[in-house]
DNA sequence: CTACTGTTCTATAATAAATAGAACAATAAG
DNA sequence: CTTATTGTTCTATTTATTATAGAACAGTAG
């Protein structure tokens, strides 16, 4: 009877929002938890599970669901904000934001990371057309989103 | 006249091998030094600057040229060995090895990293065909290596 | 006002990265 | 055989990152 006064309606918050199913943490991984959270949210955006202005659960909620510290979630959200993927406001919380190329100051970094990854494939002897094929196949699994006309 | 007894012929080693020009370290980067060394050697293999059985300078030589500790270089070399990119033997030193797909136990990991990177592009609103085009253009800059027939 | 949310602050422990020095072990070369 | 080179192994220290923890602050929707 240790955790008795928990599980009131106070623990749920932000329209009783549960942590989405696409968020899965691998605790044994060498990838930091905050990085995993960040990557999976970006992936969820690409997969269409999250759209522009989609709400994300509160940091304390996610932390509670995974049994981790809310500061870890906060770090992921803050990173997403600095990258332009979400907006953060108090009380309202965390919302997905349509990141534009304008925000993408690290597009050179993206290209560099892609180049490093492709080089690794080449150094492995992977055929170039196979890699391109893999990229096309992977991209085809993402829904083809319509860019709204009011995007500026 | 502090470093006077240095710069003898003793400091140079392994056929008087200098650190190759393709190795450049960015000290301000958030990428660890050993990871940078690893990435650039893989890149050099893909770019054809290093071939099968190409020699790499000794760990102490690279460390000396960059003013870093040789343990850091050792860590990079050991990582490359575990990934199958080089062979390490005492006295002979470090040599590039033709890594096969058989060594590539982390090919799923490669695909996962590629997926994460492509998803980031999609989430940014980058056009899919532009990304594919970028990959093709990047790959075309790598020399098209002939896989020797005696590869088993 | 109240409750919820992100924000900021300090603090601690665990892990990783980088440095440092010493010694060991295999082996090519003389 | 001897020597020098090179990777390997060991302990140790410093610094940075990661994750946790608790407390308090500050907007803001209801």
A-chain residues near B48 (CB < 8 A): none
Asked whether residue B60, judged by its CB, lies under 7 Å from any atom of the DNA or RNA strand D, the reply is: yes
Q: Which nucleotides of C are covered by protein (CB under 7 A)?
A: 3-9, 16-21, 25-28
Task: For residue A17, give Cα distances in angstroms to A80, A139, B26.
Answer: 20, 30, 44
CB-nearest to B138 from A43, A101, A118 is A118
pLDDT of residue B152 exceeding 90: no
Q: What pLDDT was estimated at residue A104?
A: 62
> What would the pLDDT profile of A44-62 be if each residue is shown by its tens digit?
999 999 999 999 999 999 9
Q: Is B124 on the interface with A (CB under 8 A)?
A: yes
Q: What pLDDT was estimated at residue A23?
A: 94
What's the Å distance between residue B10 CA and nucleotide D9 C1'? 24
Q: What pLDDT was estimated at residue A17?
A: 76
CB-nearest to B135 from A98, A135, A147 is A135
Q: What pLDDT was estimated at residue B148?
A: 56
Q: Is A112 on the interface with B (CB under 8 A)?
A: no
CB-nearest to A132 from B101, B135, B151 is B135
CA distance A131 to B132: 10
> What would the pLDDT profile of B51-66 be if each residue is shown by its tens digit?
999 999 999 999 999 9
CB contact under 8 A, A110 and B123: no
Q: What pLDDT was estimated at residue A4?
A: 33
Q: Is A115 on the interface with B (CB under 8 A)?
A: yes
B-chain residues near A28 (CB < 8 A): none
| Better pLDDT: A20 or A75 | A75
| Better pLDDT: B99 or B16 | B99
Residue of A nearest to B96 (CA): A123
CA distance A90 to B57: 55
| Model confidence, pTM | 0.85
CA distance A99 to A52: 9
Contact by Cβ (8 Å): B117, A141 = no
Task: Annotate B17-65 with DSSP letters as a single string.
Answer: PPPPTT----TT-SS-HHHHHHHHHHHHHHTTSS-TT-EE--HHHHHHH
A-chain residues near B100 (CB < 8 A): 124-125
Other residues' Cβ atoms within 10 Å of the Cβ of residue B115: 19
For tokens 């136990």, the residue is: B105
Q: Is A79 on the interface with B (CB under 8 A)?
A: no
Q: Is A96 on the interface with B (CB under 8 A)?
A: no
pLDDT of residue A65 exceeding 90: yes
Q: What is the average pLDDT value for chain B, to the nearest integer?
A: 85
| Better pLDDT: A80 or B98 | A80
Task: Annotate A69-125 with DSSP letters as a single string.
Answer: -HHHHHHHHHHHHHHTSEEEETTTEEEE----TTT-TTHHHHHHHHHHHHHHHHHHT
Contact by Cβ (8 Å): A142, B119 = yes
CA distance B108 to A57: 30
pLDDT of residue B7 exceeding 50: no
């Amino acid at each position: 009877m240790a955790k008795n006064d928990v599980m009131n309606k106070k623990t749920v918050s932000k329209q009783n929002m549960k942590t989405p199913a696409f968020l899965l943490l691998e605790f044994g991984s060498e990838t930091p938890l905050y990085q995993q959270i960040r990557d999976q949210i970006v992936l969820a955006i690409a997969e269409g599970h999250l759209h522009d202005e989609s709400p994300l659960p509160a940091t304390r909620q996610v932390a509670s669901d995974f049994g981790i510290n809310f500061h870890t979630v906060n770090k992921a959200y803050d990173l997403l904000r600095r990258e332009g993927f979400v907006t953060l406001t108090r009380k309202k919380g965390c919302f997905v934001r349509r990141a534009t190329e304008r925000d993408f100051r690290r597009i050179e970094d993206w290209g560099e990371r892609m180049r490093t990854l492709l080089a690794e494939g080449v150094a492995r002897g992977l055929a170039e057309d196979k890699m391109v094929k893999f990229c096309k196949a992977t991209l085809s699994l993402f829904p083809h989103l319509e860019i709204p006309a009011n995007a500026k």
